[in-house]
Chain A
Amino acid sequence: MNVLLLGVATFLLFNLAAGLWRVMRGPTAADRMLAAQLFGTTAVAVLLLLAEGMEEAELRDIALVFALLAAVAAVAFVRRVWSPGARHDAD
């Protein structure tokens, strides 16, 4: 049970590492920000699996804070950064 949960968390972490590719070469800023949102969701899942696997209930609170953090980052991005139609070209 413990090994299964840690294995699934490792698989999700590999997913996060694969999502870094989109952060590195997303053509627009929205692509990069959506990849960061994916990282937030993946981190919530990994922390919930770790909370079950390591028998530490405090990790669920950190997962809750991560869910809040992703929403705050998305709101900051949409209000302050994103203008539709603007192509933010990376060098």
Chain B
Amino acid sequence: MSAGLVLDGLLAAILIWLAWAALSSRDLFRAIVLFIAFGLVLSMAWARLGAPDVALAEAAIGAGLTGALLLATWGRLRGRKTSEEQPHARPHQGEDDAD
């Protein structure tokens, strides 16, 4: 079962990397997409571990429903932020001659 060992090791490595990337990403949308990918890979890991029920629940709830809800929330947040005019707020540069 060396092929299965390679598959399981690759699944575990992708899972750990995806979790770290989703948690440490500064871009919200990128974090959401990485979370969806994390749910997909985690569901494959459950299927590989012989728990198809848990994999089914993870696919439906963890990746699908939560991903769609997060996408809708991100769109609503961005719409609220860009509906009003973007004030050209310049950062205060100390002794900068701001007229």
**Residues of chain A at the chain B interface (Cβ within 8 Å):** 3, 6-7, 9-10, 13-14, 16-17, 20, 23-24, 29, 32-33, 35-36, 39-40, 43, 46-47, 50, 54, 56, 58-59, 61-62, 65-66, 68-69, 72-73, 76-77, 80-81, 88, 90-91
Contacts and interface: CB of A to CB of B under 8 A. Distances in A.
Contacts of A77: 71
Enumerate the 10 nearest inter-chain pairs by beta-carbon distance, A residue then B residue, closest first.
A80-B75, A69-B64, A58-B52, A6-B3, A76-B68, A81-B75, A32-B33, A76-B71, A80-B72, A65-B59
Task: Give chain A's interface secondary structure class.
Answer: helix
A56 B26 contact: no
Contacts of B75: 80-81
Contacts of B41: 16, 43
Given A3-B3, A10-B6, A62-B47, A91 B71 contact: no
Residue of B14, B71, B75 with most partner-chain A CB within 10 A: B71
Interface of B: 3-4, 6-7, 10-11, 14, 17-18, 21, 26-27, 29-30, 33-34, 36-37, 40-41, 43-44, 47-48, 50, 52-53, 55-56, 59-60, 63-64, 67-68, 71-72, 74-76, 78
Nearest to A13: B10
B11 A69 contact: no
Contacts of B68: 72-73, 76
25 contacts: A3-B3, A6-B3, A6-B4, A6-B7, A7-B3, A9-B7, A10-B6, A10-B10, A13-B7, A17-B10, A20-B14, A23-B33, A33-B33, A46-B44, A50-B47, A50-B48, A54-B50, A56-B52, A58-B53, A58-B56, A62-B43, A62-B47, A68-B64, A73-B36, A80-B74
